[in-house]
Structure 1
Amino acid sequence: MSDPASPSAARPPQPGDHVFLVDGSGYIFRAYHALPPLTRKSDGLPVGAVAGFCNMLWKLLREADQTAAAVKPTHLAVILDASAITFRNAIYDRYKAQRPPPPADLVPQFALIRQAVTAFNVASIEMEGFEADDLIATYTRLAREAGADVTIVSSDKDLMQLVGPGVVLLDTMKDRRLGRDEVIEKFGVPPEKVVDVQALAGDSVDNVPGVPGIGIKTAAQLITEYGDLETLLARAAEIKQQKRRENLIAYADQARISRRLVELDTAVPLAAPPSMLTVRGLDGARLVAFLKGMEFSTLTRRVAEVTGTDPGAVEASSIRVVGWPPEAADAAPGGTGELLAAGPGEDAAPSDQPSASPAPAPIASGTGSTPQALAAARAAEMLGAPVDTAAYETVLDLAALDRWIEAAMAAGVVAVDTETSSLDAMQAELVGVSLAVAPGKACYIPLGHRDGAGDLLGGGRIAGQIDIRDALARLKPLLEAPSVLKVAQNLKYDWLMFVRHGITVAPYDDTMLLSYALDAGRGGHGMDELSQTHLGHKPIAYKEVAGSGKTMIGFAEVPIDRATAYAAEDADVTLRLWRVLKPRLVAERLTTVYETLERPLVPVLGRMERRGVSVDRQILSRLSGEFGQTMGGLEAEIHDLAGERFNLGSPKQLGEILFDKMNLSGGKKTKTGAWGTGADVLEELALQGHELPRRILDWRQLAKLKSTYTDALPGYIHPETGRVHTSYSLASTTTGRLSSSEPNLQNIPVRTEEGRKIRTAFVAAPGMKLISADYSQIELRILAHIAEIPQLVAAFEEGIDIHAMTASEMFGVPVAGMDPMVRRRAKAINFGIIYGISAFGLANQLGISRQEAGDYIKRYFERFPGIRGYMDATRRFARDNGFVVTLFGRKAHYPEINSPNPSTRAFMERAAINAPIQGSAADVIRRAMVRMEPALEAAGAEAHMLLQVHDELIFEVPETGVDTALPVIRRVMEEAADPAVRLKVPLQVDARAADNWDAAH
């Protein structure tokens, strides 16, 4: 960034120069989606995208100016789209025709962003009839012809065709440069062939038609083999795959049109020559005036400090948009609004946005702030704020540690993270602890680093580290202090680590769970992804400090200076994320979800994981042998049916047997050219009466149970406790259901004989019993409540067999003496409807024709019209809002529900219809788990929760305490929805005690 006092004279690029071309549209939409809604307090004008855009542009300029190794631009421009109609619409009138209009609150911000670029004293370029990408392509060509290098600030795949010698893309959100190798990784071909691949694959977003049936991977293979698009089309008759050959011949002209659409124009008649892009110095007063007028107090302060501008001496620009507020006037021509910027001093708006502080900051009274404004201000403050890992401190003595503890006590909030020797919290050793008390102010306390040499354990402990006992003794009062909020990412792991050392962390917030409560379904909730999304910062990757593959070392062997940068950054980023995410709870009315369904479960699950469950090795060994013998018999039978021996675990060999040798109908080949032999294919063949695929399914099920459970579970038995300790994830599903891993205990089938046998290996300790408490048909009960189905509500209230009642309603048969097969069909429909089952799926389950299954589903909706009404209403709500809501306020987001891809859209619709039901059931059991321990303690029951498996809780209780525990467990589970939701139907829990899990279920 040039010195403000000495602006550069305009000159064309020359050898040694570096031209930066910023994809303005990409910046705008990234900024808009990265931040929650933000409005200017003085008039309610939406400014969230403007705030994000300004922060991103400021970060780009500052990093180029501050970092010695950074490439400094000599020429810089923000390239924008002038209008939606370009020369490509004349080539193909449906080009981008299906793109929705920009969000209503973004429209008035386009003009403001143009003004922002001007305020930054950066060239802003746009031209009617051409897309921004074409302008970027033309400036890139001219710069390279002049001998200058080019950095295109964008991650847009359409711009990757420009990458080449002296030209790279810079993704600032991920801090990643994209060169030739990255383009090949993305498209499978080098940049010069990208347009040919895009022409074949098409683009559903821009409505580029391409060739049906050809995706990026296939297109890359074809272009690699034939060289270019025209050669491929000329030789299309040589293609071996019939459908692919026919489509290439039939849609050759469409492919050529697609190529013209995706190829960028490098010869746009530019109105602004490259010399106009020369970097100019910042006008501090001008930029501060604009930022004050937009009421961006934090960025105003930063810019003022860097440019030496006194904000008090600069009057805010008075900025308004014609047509805003909306009721004042019609929208401006073109839908973008017309910006009217008054000079300094004209109707200047006050900049009284409250600045953020490290401590939990309530909304300040008297400032006019709203929860939404505070959330947006915090998000804007953190987005792009620099992270300097060199500023972190390594704490090597108790005096320094005491200073950090004192700072944390004073701040009232501290981010905490542990570094350990393993992902298994029950066996990991503590290597170090990191703390952060304010953004940018973080430290690392190494405790167990070794020199990495010597014996197999990695050598001796490095001298100079604080003794772990002394450090934890100092940290314990801080981590347990009720006046200091502890913040962590995936706290359950750290909670377990500390509790093993006699420290119970409280009170706390968990940024992973904050993100999950706010954005379930929108993306992942890991720290690295959240950092890139909300902070615009890519943290140091673990493999950068510990290596990967065969060269990977344990964290204890990482040099302490590198460990400090990595670990302290984790704490720093976590604190920043907390500052962004926590205010959104109030702004988006999700505080109750987080505080009642997410946060309280951390210690509950931590205690469950620590207790573990006993598993009988002998039973598992016997079952493994039994399964192996049965599999051997099945293998021999399958070979007889096939007429030859083959590898049952090879999909390729199986496909050749079924479709090449036996000529069974219904086979489909995958993209690799092999026959598909997935479960759906085999089930369809089995329904047609073929025995071989049916036996293959039986063999596969046994093979999975043997490898996943009977063979693997003994390896999970803890060497000290003698029990299996699974790990629960609170934030891995969209609907709120928990999942378990290492080992996964939630996928043991309960409806098969083999699955029930595996459950017999989960046993009570001597003198104890296992109690299984399982909700009865909870999702059907919630459906009856939500959809208000009178027949279902009445049946549940009266305790009637719901499946028999459904069969009676649908098929007109009396409940008494009902054929079990009829009840089974009604049961399959009852549960299938919840999951959006199709006629094909129901036919597979019941072994009937699709026509008959379709008639059943149609009759079901006729008898229970409220269910169809619920499904239609939920589908409409999800399409309009992008999310659905459970009975307890949890939001499940489905951002692709309006996808132009029919299969994706249908899948999202089914998931959205099911989510309020499944999610409400998940919320109920979460509420029960949170209330269970206090209720058992109050009743004097010694029962301890061990496992949660979907709608079931497993407890261990002394034999003498069963009668005390059972009624408490039933009551807590059956009353879990109260008082938040008064269900129209009663919840019912089946609970019993036994010596093993299967007998108790």
Structure 2
Amino acid sequence: MGKLVLIDGHSILNRAFYGVPELTNSKGLHTNAVYGFLNIMFRVIEDEGADYLAVAFDLKEPTFRHKMYAAYKGTRKPMPQELHEQVPVMKEVLTAMGVPILTKAGYEADDILGTIAKRCAAEGVEVSIVSGDRDLLQLADTHIKIRMPRTSKGTTEIRDYYPEDVKAEYQVTPIEFIDVKALMGDTSDNIPGVPSIGEKTATSLITTYGSIENAYAHIDEVKPPRAQKALREHYDMAQMSKDLATIRINCEIGFSLEEAKLDSLYTPEAYQYMKQLEFKSILQKFGEDAFASSEMEKSFRLVNDFGEAQVIFDRAQRTEEIGAQLVIEKGEVVALALCLDGTSIYAIPAVGFLTGQYLAEELERLMEVVPSVTVLDLKIQLPFLKNHSRRIVDGIRNAEGNRAVMDAGVAAYLLNPLKDTYGYDDLARDYLDMTVPSQVDLLGKTALSDAFETMPEKALNCVCYMAYTAWKSREILLGQLRRHGMMHLFYEIEMPVIYSLYHMEEEGIQVRREELKAYGERLQTQVEKLEQEIYAETGCEFNINSPKQLGEVLFEKMSLPGGKKTKTGYSTAADVLEKLAPEYPVVRKVLDYRQVAKLKSTYADGLGAFIREDGRIHGTFNQTITATGRISSTEPNLQNIPVRMELGREIRKLFVPREGCVLVDADYSQIELRVLAHMSNDKNLIQAYRQAEDIHAITASQVFHVPLEEVTPQLRRNAKAVNFGIVYGISAFGLGEDLGISRKEATEYIERYFETYPDVKRFLDGLVKTGRKYGEVKTMYGRVRPIPELKSGNFMQRSFGERVAMNSPIQGTAADIIKIAMIRVDQRLRREGLRSRIVLQVHDELLVETWKEELEQVQSILATEMKRAAQLQVELEIDMKTGNSWFETK
């Protein structure tokens, strides 16, 4: 007859909700319970080789059990809002998958499960019930298996129970389990139980007497006396509890095995839900059947003929707006996506006379004449659009002319900076209410250039969706940017900075290859030296890179204090070891070993792979990664070079200017504190900046009530930690950890700081209130930072959200200012005909490779444009240094 899987809907959702870390999609919907439920469901179906599937849910209205118990004591604990909102979503997903949802007015889900399980088992069907509720164990028999998942940190274990398993774990049979539950009670299930009888006593009574009734019949023999007295006085409650605990197996509910027959869960409708919920790992389970052909695809055209392409380009030049994207693979143009309107959508592969260069030139012409051109990702195309890039920054186009080209991906990033991708499928889902297959969905790992040969229809759809979503999303994105007050941010900062980032990538920075190799050899020697010293001090050889082995050596063999044992061994995280390092030299050597080993692997060995034939590293600078608006660096990450150790700082010696040049480094001084002073309008902090240069000494003087000239280096360090800590929403605990003082002392420091700068306190509190009210905060330039964590039911998540609310407007404003400075410096260098170029942007600093004869002019440009990038109530200051290596400029 086959195998039937029955799932206890609310129970498994509840288990998943508390077992899977908090997840939200790009629209702020909590999704962790749905995600966990689906993974459990897929696993069970696969384990069982199931033929049939159904899910039972409780209804909202009270069941007869609720009504029985209401007279005795209240109702169940309310469901968390984050879980409550996922219940209807879960039901919609199951419906889209064709899974029957079973409910019955007046009955709970377990009654429905019990009825159907017993009915089907009697007909020869093997049944598996999936639930986190132990009540269901009473249903176990030779043909009914109870499967109980337990999810923790995203990992699920499932325990199976037949009657013998119940007996082995609980010492009672499945039927006797009802009586145990009735005696001990269960407040989560509204079962009162018998006062003074816990699980251990209840189990002992039922193993002895077999049932509550038989125990009461032998009441004078019941032990211990406390249990005898309780059962004698509350026998009526015991009987009511047993009735409440007993699952009904004779509900009047219709059920057809045929309706529960498992076909494919991976339907086109379910695929759309997975896209909306952004379950990327689950999406991979869907095959080609999920991609139902849309009406839109009937308008897609593959253009291989040169003459036909020319006709299309001529027509495009006469349109008002187009969507376009040069498709780049392995540094080459493989196709052009082009959309002229809702029915003229083209994929033009680079074949024959339609070369990549030709397609790029045609797109450049369109950018010259078409009033509105929208692309998905502009920066990746700029290496092939050099004339376009040059004309923009040389000022041939005016400010309004710049608006002809729009990057839809960057616009989507501004509207929601918490996402990790802004591809055409993301735009379609988030702004067009369309669910379309992504490139990976369509092509898998096949390169698009190959796909035009091996799977032309899928390649066509992929490229055409790029063009269509770019074209269609333009006005929607602009409308949302306008409503959020981010048009100026988009057009005057984010769009121009695309060109500056491209110029920086194109320029690259020179690295001494041979010296890098020698540096790696020095690091290897240091690694080996530290390794031998650690072995000598610990008295044994072990794998220092193994946290398990290191923990055993430090906390067991050497008996160091502070060992925190986890399931996988002792924690050897940096924060744990840093506390021990001052007292135990071997721990300091372990930390040094880790840093030197990382320097070697990541930088000495890693950087060499990125040096091109011109002797320069051309890194990638990312605009749409960080939630605060900061630029990030990858391939390689040049913004995260460790400088705590002298060996780390020495990496910068390898970054040098080309012959005839020097490096000029201009670094904003305390820009985030200056932004805080301005945005908070705190008169004391503003005055402190205006009266002297050393803000940390002034803060120490005011906070610790000592004359400025008597501020000690230690007091200044403490004030500096508070100054910067306040910007990042530091807690008393965090400040105490940083300074090595008690939480009480740290609290006093923070309180004194806010007494000194009261408007800072009001400003930061106001940001948190704004974040709670609107779900987001903004920078001075209108950049939005959503903060869904503020509405979390988890205290730690809410606390994190509060810190984000306080920090994001400050850090984000600083990021906006450095972008403005970068744009202006880049454009002036080019506009004034200089050969000097920006080669690195690292957080608050710009590094310019400067021709020696242009040094004075470059220094003047940097000073002028960086200081004038924003008009604050306190002046922006920069530290500027010149050197023959990056090291010398620091």
Q: TM-score by structure 1 length?
A: 0.63
Larger Rg: 2
The structure-2 alpha-carbon separation of the partners of 1:467 and 1:692, relative to structure 1 and needing over 3 Å to count, comes to: same
Cα pair 1:883 1:891 within 8 Å, conserved: yes
Whether 1:635 and 2:524 are equivalent positions in the alignment is no
**Counterpart-to-counterpart distance in 2, 1:634 and 1:225:** 53
SS at match of 2:664: strand
Residue 667 (structure 1) aligns with? 563
SS at match of 1:760: helix
Deviation, structure 1 residue 915 = 0.5
**Counterpart-to-counterpart distance in 2, 1:773 and 1:226:** 72
Q: How does 1:254-403 map to 2 (within 5 A)?
A: 386=294, 388-389=296-297, 391-403=299-311
* Number of aligned residue pairs: 716
The structure-2 alpha-carbon separation of the partners of 1:784 and 1:863, relative to structure 1 and needing over 3 Å to count, comes to: same
Deviation, structure 1 residue 813 = 3.0
Whether 1:771 and 2:660 are equivalent positions in the alignment is no
Cα pair 1:611 1:725 within 8 Å, conserved: yes
**Counterpart-to-counterpart distance in 2, 1:864 and 1:401:** 66
The structure-2 alpha-carbon separation of the partners of 1:988 and 1:539, relative to structure 1 and needing over 3 Å to count, comes to: same
**Counterpart-to-counterpart distance in 2, 1:540 and 1:898:** 31
SS at match of 2:888: helix
Q: Which of 313, 324, 335 matches 1:416? A: 324
Residue 412 (structure 2) aligns with? 515
Whether 1:679 and 2:577 are equivalent positions in the alignment is no
**Counterpart-to-counterpart distance in 2, 1:848 and 1:915:** 27
Cα pair 1:874 1:913 within 8 Å, conserved: yes
Cα pair 2:333 2:357 within 8 Å, conserved: no
Whether 1:93 and 2:75 are equivalent positions in the alignment is yes
Letter in 1 for 2:563: G
SS at match of 2:335: strand
Q: What are the superposed Cα offsets for residues 451-476 of structure 1, whole Å, 9 maximum, x if unpaired?
A: xxxxxxxxxxxxx5634444444444
Letter in 2 for 1:951: D
Could you tell me which runs of 5 or more consecutive residues in structure 1 were left unpaired when the two chains were aligned: 1-21, 27-31, 37-78, 104-109, 115-122, 148-158, 163-191, 202-213, 237-250, 278-383, 423-427, 449-463
The structure-2 alpha-carbon separation of the partners of 1:546 and 1:623, relative to structure 1 and needing over 3 Å to count, comes to: same
SS at match of 2:627: coil
Whether 1:537 and 2:435 are equivalent positions in the alignment is yes
**Counterpart-to-counterpart distance in 2, 1:195 and 1:466:** 60
Residue 519 (structure 2) aligns with? 623
Residue 590 (structure 2) aligns with? 696
Cα pair 1:631 1:702 within 8 Å, conserved: yes
Deviation, structure 1 residue 989 = 1.1
Deviation, structure 1 residue 494 = 1.8
SS at match of 2:628: coil
**Counterpart-to-counterpart distance in 1, 2:551 and 2:448:** 39
Residue 495 (structure 1) aligns with? 382
Deviation, structure 1 residue 698 = 1.4
**Counterpart-to-counterpart distance in 2, 1:134 and 1:400:** 66
Cα pair 2:357 2:384 within 8 Å, conserved: no
Cα pair 1:546 1:555 within 8 Å, conserved: no
**Counterpart-to-counterpart distance in 1, 2:449 and 2:185:** 53
The structure-2 alpha-carbon separation of the partners of 1:265 and 1:500, relative to structure 1 and needing over 3 Å to count, comes to: farther
Residue 797 (structure 1) aligns with? 690
The structure-2 alpha-carbon separation of the partners of 1:717 and 1:216, relative to structure 1 and needing over 3 Å to count, comes to: closer
Q: What are the superposed Cα offsets for residues 617-642 of structure 1, whole Å, 9 maximum, x if unpaired?
A: 23322322222222222212211222
Residue 715 (structure 1) aligns with? 609
Residue 880 (structure 2) aligns with? 991
SS at match of 2:769: helix
Whether 1:747 and 2:637 are equivalent positions in the alignment is no
**Counterpart-to-counterpart distance in 1, 2:388 and 2:161:** 61
**Counterpart-to-counterpart distance in 2, 1:850 and 1:571:** 57
SS at match of 2:706: coil
The structure-2 alpha-carbon separation of the partners of 1:226 and 1:142, relative to structure 1 and needing over 3 Å to count, comes to: closer
Q: What are the superposed Cα offsets for residues 254-303 of structure 1, whole Å, 9 maximum, x if unpaired?
A: 78889x99x99999867x999xx9xxxxxxxxxxxxxxxxxxxxxxxxxx
Residue 17 (structure 2) aligns with? none
**Counterpart-to-counterpart distance in 2, 1:929 and 1:267:** 74
Q: What are the superposed Cα offsets for residues 170-219 of structure 1, whole Å, 9 maximum, x if unpaired?
A: xxxxxxxxxxxxxxxxxxxxxx999732xx55xxxxxxxxxxxx5552xx
Residue 481 (structure 1) aligns with? 368
The structure-2 alpha-carbon separation of the partners of 1:494 and 1:229, relative to structure 1 and needing over 3 Å to count, comes to: farther
Residue 314 (structure 1) aligns with? none
Letter in 2 for 1:676: S
Cα pair 1:443 1:568 within 8 Å, conserved: yes
Letter in 2 for 1:674: G
The structure-2 alpha-carbon separation of the partners of 1:895 and 1:527, relative to structure 1 and needing over 3 Å to count, comes to: farther
Letter in 2 for 1:512: G
Deviation, structure 1 residue 404 = 2.5
The structure-2 alpha-carbon separation of the partners of 1:860 and 1:266, relative to structure 1 and needing over 3 Å to count, comes to: farther
Q: How does 1:536-935 map to 2 (within 5 A)?
A: 536-542=434-440, 544-545=442-443, 547=445, 559-670=455-566, 672-686=567-581, 689-719=583-613, 721-816=614-709, 818-935=711-828
Cα pair 1:398 1:471 within 8 Å, conserved: no
Residue 170 (structure 2) aligns with? 234
**Counterpart-to-counterpart distance in 1, 2:655 and 2:311:** 49
Q: Which of 157, 176, 184 matches 1:221? A: 157
Cα pair 1:531 1:573 within 8 Å, conserved: yes
Cα pair 2:442 2:458 within 8 Å, conserved: no
Residue 307 (structure 1) aligns with? none
Cα pair 2:382 2:389 within 8 Å, conserved: no
The structure-2 alpha-carbon separation of the partners of 1:504 and 1:800, relative to structure 1 and needing over 3 Å to count, comes to: closer
Letter in 1 for 2:317: M
Letter in 2 for 1:520: P
**Counterpart-to-counterpart distance in 2, 1:667 and 1:805:** 40
**Counterpart-to-counterpart distance in 1, 2:165 and 2:483:** 52
Could you tell me which runs of 5 or more consecutive residues in structure 2 were left unpaired when the two chains were aligned: 1-8, 14-23, 29-55, 93-99, 124-128, 133-143, 173-183, 192-240, 260-291, 393-401
Q: How does 1:114-125 map to 2 (within 5 A)?
A: none
Q: TM-score by structure 2 length?
A: 0.70
The structure-2 alpha-carbon separation of the partners of 1:195 and 1:1000, relative to structure 1 and needing over 3 Å to count, comes to: same
Letter in 2 for 1:708: T
Letter in 1 for 2:580: L
The structure-2 alpha-carbon separation of the partners of 1:233 and 1:766, relative to structure 1 and needing over 3 Å to count, comes to: farther
The structure-2 alpha-carbon separation of the partners of 1:265 and 1:497, relative to structure 1 and needing over 3 Å to count, comes to: farther
**Counterpart-to-counterpart distance in 2, 1:228 and 1:524:** 51
The structure-2 alpha-carbon separation of the partners of 1:490 and 1:142, relative to structure 1 and needing over 3 Å to count, comes to: farther
Q: What are the superposed Cα offsets for residues 393-436 of structure 1, whole Å, 9 maximum, x if unpaired?
A: 221112221233244334422222233332xxxxx122222222
Q: What are the superposed Cα offsets for residues 965-995 of structure 1, whole Å, 9 maximum, x if unpaired?
A: 11221111111124xxxx2111111122221
Q: Which of 310, 335, 339 matches 1:432? A: 335
Cα pair 1:638 1:695 within 8 Å, conserved: yes
**Counterpart-to-counterpart distance in 1, 2:165 and 2:466:** 47
Q: Which moved more, 1:771-780 or 1:87-96?
A: 87-96
Cα pair 2:451 2:458 within 8 Å, conserved: no
**Counterpart-to-counterpart distance in 2, 1:254 and 1:643:** 55
**Counterpart-to-counterpart distance in 1, 2:364 and 2:515:** 43
Letter in 1 for 2:354: I
User: RMSD between aligned alpha carbons?
Assistant: 5.0
Amino-acid identity (%): 32
Higher helix share: 2
**Counterpart-to-counterpart distance in 2, 1:635 and 1:837:** 36
The structure-2 alpha-carbon separation of the partners of 1:664 and 1:538, relative to structure 1 and needing over 3 Å to count, comes to: farther
**Counterpart-to-counterpart distance in 1, 2:840 and 2:250:** 66
